[in-house]
């Protein structure tokens, strides 16, 4: 073991090529992971920010706000379900927002949420004609006090504050009360206008100690399957595109990890062939195959950890260098650690391909082969 | 199994004496009785060692002489636990290793014998001193005593000022001396030298042999020195001749 570490320290040049490739692979892995995290975050932020436990859609809606309608009578049924403490109406409208003094085609993609409960418990619901804006809009030039004109109807709303991590399907959310939302809906999508007290969906808060999934089931039972309820956590995953993005990226990440396995396997296989003579001598003087192989794995693990450290610094640098809002890259500590763990597993698996060769080195090869 | 039991102990020999004076009644370093090694070939077989009998006393230094292919290396490999005999009895330092498996033989090599190979096989990225200490790192580490032992050996071998040099920075004779030091690190019962001077010129070879003799005799360690150079034999207590796998 000590021998393996010394070799790394004394002959770093031997490991430089493999280290460089592993660093690039690690960086790719962190970048891909960061991109996935960023995309998912910008898709699901608003739903995750909902200050409720269960989300109730009408059953025909397939979990989409736009197709969902909840009438007051249905809401009353939900209110009566055991475990439901409070319900709140919610609806969303996706449109373009125009900043003052901007050109007619310079539109910000926004999602206007009208809700009876403010996102997260910290904020209060803004007054009529006012909105809280997702922080990403700040980078686009939106400031507090600015009046945005929404949609073709140019409905004016005033930004009175900002919320963090509340994007909806890649669009920045604006949060307002039901009244303003209904007005904007009427001015821009008269066809979708909902009657007073009709919402697209319901937010449900539970009585303390209730289980969200169980209550969701009871709600659907109570409404005779007129509703399709799911926990807010589950709702984030069912948003359109989220699972597809996850699947696609995870496939690419899987391929990248496989490449890392191949790189480690090839590199250490070559190294093992090169070292056959040395291994023979070490075995002849009493080294166990186990410790020789352990040294090999240790080298791979140290090399991978070093490569990942360099890649992590590069990834964070990349994150800082990329202008905010251009690429939805999100480099989190969890993602960096996950990438390290993937590559460590790849390193150990890659080394396993050399196990047989290490075991097979014959100590007799050290003695008298040239006589 | 009896051999199995002996492995439960700390070391094969049990008592770890610091001074190396041999006890008068000490067991022979090597007993070989009818040791045979046969290599099966495609349509025949090669008898590399043909019922060899040899006894090397605890502090004896034996020259093993014979033409190329006579089985000298094979005999040493079996005596040192690198090869298993096809049949026959092999007792090293009082431990019968005839039926040992690979794992037990690894321990024999680590604890009972020392090797100095024909081609000098030092670890290229370790200094002279570290090449000696590798031996300590193979088994249960002793740390400070091993470092003291390494320093003392380097001193005795005239390498004190070369302790921090890599093998690449040493001359052939110096490298051979480091290899001798490495073979002595585990305080072996028997050291096996396979043509230790074949890569050195005559003068240097004689100097290395003198050193080997001094080291073995001062420590009371037994040695087998394989050679086909008759001049080497004068440094040994006696010569044993081999031919066609037989000890003559
Ligand atoms: N691994 C092996 N496979 C087949 N034959 C071998 C092997 N090792 C040695 N031999 C044969 O055994 C005989 C003795 O070899 P060796 O002990 O190396 O002789 P020496 O060291 O005296 O030159 C030789 O005929 C050699 O060819
Ligand atoms: Mg030989």
The answer to whether A284 contacts chain B (CB < 8 Å) is yes
Instruction: Write the pLDDT tens digit of every residue in B37-94.
Output: 999 998 999 999 999 999 999 999 999 999 989 999 999 999 999 999 999 999 999 9
The CA distances from residue A150 to A131, A206, A295, A355, B161, in Å, are: 12, 34, 64, 65, 84
- B163 contacts B185 by C-beta, under 8 angstroms: no
3-state secondary structure of B49: strand
Share of chain B above pLDDT 90, in %: 72
- pLDDT reported for residue A227: 87
Work out the average pLDDT over A291-300: 95
Nearest CA residue ID for atom 18, ligand 1: B73
- pLDDT reported for residue A327: 83
Q: For residue A253, which of A36, A37, A32, A39 has the smallest C-alpha distance?
A: A32
Question: What is the side-by-side order of every strand in the sheet holding B87-92?
Answer: B45-56, B30-40, B87-92, B95-96
B118 with A370: Cβ contact below 8 A: yes
The residue ranking higher by pLDDT, B231 or B16, is B231
- A210 contacts A166 by C-beta, under 8 angstroms: no
Q: Which residues of A touch B82 (CB under 8 A)?
A: 284, 363-364, 366-367
Cβ contacts of A63 within 8 Å, gap of 6 or more = A57, A228, A230, A235, A238, A239
Supply B38's token pair: 């046969």
Domain positions in chain A:
2-44+242-370, 54-209
Q: Which residues of B touch A10 (CB under 8 A)?
A: 125-126
Q: Which atom of ligand 1 is nearest to the CA of B67?
A: 22
CA–CA gap between residue B168 and residue B187 (Å, rounded): 26
Q: Residue A362's closest chain B neighbor by CA?
A: B82
Cβ contacts of A365 within 8 Å, gap of 6 or more = A276, A277, A280
The residue ranking higher by pLDDT, A224 or B225, is B225
Work out the average pLDDT over B9-14: 55
The CA distances from residue A274 to A14, A301, B146, in Å, are: 11, 20, 30
Q: Which residues of B touch A371 (CB under 8 A)?
A: 68-69, 72-73, 118, 194-195
Angle, helices A242-274/A12-48, rounded to nearest 10 degrees: 170
- Measured from the Cβ of residue A105, the count of other Cβ atoms closer than 10 Å reads 7
Helix (H) / strand (E) containing A85: strand A84-98
Q: How many residues are listed for chain B in this entry?
A: 248
CA–CA gap between residue A90 and residue A21 (Å, rounded): 50
CA–CA gap between residue B182 and residue B212 (Å, rounded): 12
Work out the average pLDDT over A344-361: 94
Residue A370 near ligand 1, beta carbon < 6 Å: no
CA–CA gap between residue B131 and residue B123 (Å, rounded): 6
User: B50 to chain A, minimum CA–CA distance in Å?
Assistant: 18
Can you tell me the ipTM of this complex?
A: 0.89
Asked if pLDDT for residue A356 goes beyond 90, the answer is yes
Work out the average pLDDT over A274-287: 93
β-strands B61-65, A130-134 pairing: unpaired
Average pLDDT value over all residues in chain A = 90
Asked if pLDDT for residue B2 goes beyond 50, the answer is no
* Cβ-based burial of A171 (10 A; exposed 0-12, middle 13-18, buried ≥19): buried
Share of chain A above pLDDT 90, in %: 55
- B114 contacts B181 by C-beta, under 8 angstroms: no
Instruction: Write the pLDDT tens digit of every residue in A130-163.
Output: 999 998 898 888 999 999 999 888 999 999 999 9
Helix (H) / strand (E) containing A153: none
Q: For residue A177, which of A190, A160, A189 has the smallest C-alpha distance?
A: A160
3-state secondary structure of B118: coil
Asked if pLDDT for residue B4 goes beyond 70, the answer is no
Q: Residue B78's closest chain A neighbor by CA?
A: A364
Helix (H) / strand (E) containing A268: helix A242-274
Per DSSP, what are the bridge partners of residue B242?
A: B247
Q: Residue B198's closest chain A neighbor by CA?
A: A371
- pLDDT reported for residue A1: 79
- B119 contacts B69 by C-beta, under 8 angstroms: no
- pLDDT reported for residue B232: 87
A368 with B107: Cβ contact below 8 A: no
Asked if pLDDT for residue B230 goes beyond 90, the answer is no
Instruction: Write the pLDDT tens digit of every residue in A98-121.
Output: 988 877 678 889 999 999 988 885
- pLDDT reported for residue B12: 64
- pLDDT reported for residue B18: 40
Work out the average pLDDT over A174-181: 92
Per DSSP, what are the bridge partners of residue B64?
A: B226, B240
User: Rounded to two decimals, what is the model's pTM?
Assistant: 0.84
- pLDDT reported for residue A9: 94
Q: Which atom of ligand 1 is nearest to the CA of B39?
A: 4
Supply B142's token pair: 């002793």
pLDDT band at A5 (very low <50, low <70, confident <90, very high): very high
Helix (H) / strand (E) containing A86: strand A84-98
- pLDDT reported for residue A141: 87
Residue B71 near ligand 1, beta carbon < 6 Å: yes
Q: Which atom of ligand 1 is nearest to the CA of B49?
A: 14
**Extended strands (E) in chain B:** 30-40, 45-56, 61-65, 87-92, 95-96, 113-116, 190-194, 222-227, 238-243, 246-247
Out of A157-166, A189-198, B122-131, least confident range: A189-198
Work out the average pLDDT over A3-12: 94
3-state secondary structure of A34: helix
Asked if pLDDT for residue B16 goes beyond 70, the answer is no
Q: How many residues are listed for chain A in this entry?
A: 371
Asked if pLDDT for residue A364 goes beyond 80, the answer is yes
Asked if pLDDT for residue B19 goes beyond 60, the answer is no
């Amino acid at each position: 073991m000590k021998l393996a570490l010394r070799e790394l320290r004394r002959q770093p040049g031997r490991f430089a090529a493999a280290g460089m490739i592993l660093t690039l692979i690690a960086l790719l892995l962190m970048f891909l992971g960061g991109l996935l995290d960023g995309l998912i975050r910008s898709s699901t932020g608003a739903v995750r920010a909902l200050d409720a436990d269960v989300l109730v859609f009408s059953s025909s809606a397939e979990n989409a706000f736009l197709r969902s309608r909840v009438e007051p009578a249905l809401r009353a049924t939900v209110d009566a379900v055991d475990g439901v403490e409070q319900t709140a109406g919610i609806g969303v409208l996706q449109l373009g927002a125009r900043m003052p003094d901007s050109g007619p085609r310079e539109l910000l993609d926004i999602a206007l949420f009208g809700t009876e409960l403010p996102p997260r418990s910290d904020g209060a619901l803004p007054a009529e004609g006012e909105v809280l804006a997702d922080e990403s809009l700040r980078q686009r030039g939106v400031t507090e006090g600015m009046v945005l004109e929404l949609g073709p109807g140019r409905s004016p709303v005033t930004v009175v504050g900002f919320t963090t991590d509340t994007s909806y399907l890649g669009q920045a959310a604006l949060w307002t009360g039901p009244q303003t939302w209904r007005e904007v809906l009427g001015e821009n999508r008269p066809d979708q206008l909902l009657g007073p007290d009709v919402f697209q969906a319901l937010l449900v808060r539970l009585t303390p100690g209730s289980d969200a999934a169980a209550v969701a089931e009871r709600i659907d039972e109570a409404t005779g399957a007129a509703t399709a309820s799911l926990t807010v956590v589950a709702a984030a995953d069912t948003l359109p595109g989220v699972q597809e993005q996850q699947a696609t990226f995870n496939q690419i990440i899987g391929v990248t990890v496989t490449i890392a396995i191949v790189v480690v396997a090839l590199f250490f296989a070559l190294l093992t062939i090169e070292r056959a003579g040395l291994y023979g001598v070490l075995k002849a003087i009493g080294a166990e195959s186990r410790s020789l192989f352990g040294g090999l794995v240790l080298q791979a693990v140290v090399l991978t950890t070093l490569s990942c450290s360099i890649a992590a610094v590069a990834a964070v640098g990349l994150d800082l260098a990329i202008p905010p809002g251009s690429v939805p890259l999100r480099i989190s500590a969890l993602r960096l650690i996950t990438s390290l763990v993937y590559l460590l597993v790849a390193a150990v698996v890659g080394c396993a391909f050399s196990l047989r060769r290490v075991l097979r080195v014959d100590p007799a090869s050290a003695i008298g082969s040239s006589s | 199994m009896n051999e199995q039991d002996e492995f439960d102990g700390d070391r094969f020999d049990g008592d770890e004496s610091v001074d190396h004076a041999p006890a008068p009644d000490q067991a022979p370093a090597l007993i070989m009785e009818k040791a045979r090694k046969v290599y099966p070939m495609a349509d025949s077989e090669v008898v590399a060692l043909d019922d060899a009998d040899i006894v090397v006393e605890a502090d004896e230094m034996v020259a093993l002489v014979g033409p190329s292919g006579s089985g000298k290396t094979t005999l040493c490999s079996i005596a040192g636990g690198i090869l298993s005999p096809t049949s026959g009895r092999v007792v090293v330092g009082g431990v019968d290793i005839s039926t040992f498996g690979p794992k037990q033989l690894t321990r024999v090599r680590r604890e009972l014998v020392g090797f100095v190979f024909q081609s000098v096989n030092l670890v290229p990225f370790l200094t002279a001193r570290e090449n000696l200490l590798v031996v300590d790192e193979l088994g249960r580490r002793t740390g400070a005593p091993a470092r003291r032992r390494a320093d003392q050996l380097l001193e005795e071998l005239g390498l004190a000022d070369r302790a921090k040099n890599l093998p690449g920075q040493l001359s052939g004779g110096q490298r051979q001396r480091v290899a001798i030091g490495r073979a002595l690190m585990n305080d072996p019962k028997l050291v096996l030298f396979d043509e230790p001077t074949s890569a050195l010129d005559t003068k240097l070879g004689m100097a290395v042999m003198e050193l080997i003799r001094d080291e073995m005799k001062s420590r009371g360690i037994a040695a087998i020195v394989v050679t086909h150079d008759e001049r080497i034999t004068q440094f040994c207590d006696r010569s044993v001749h081999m031919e066609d796998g037989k000890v003559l």
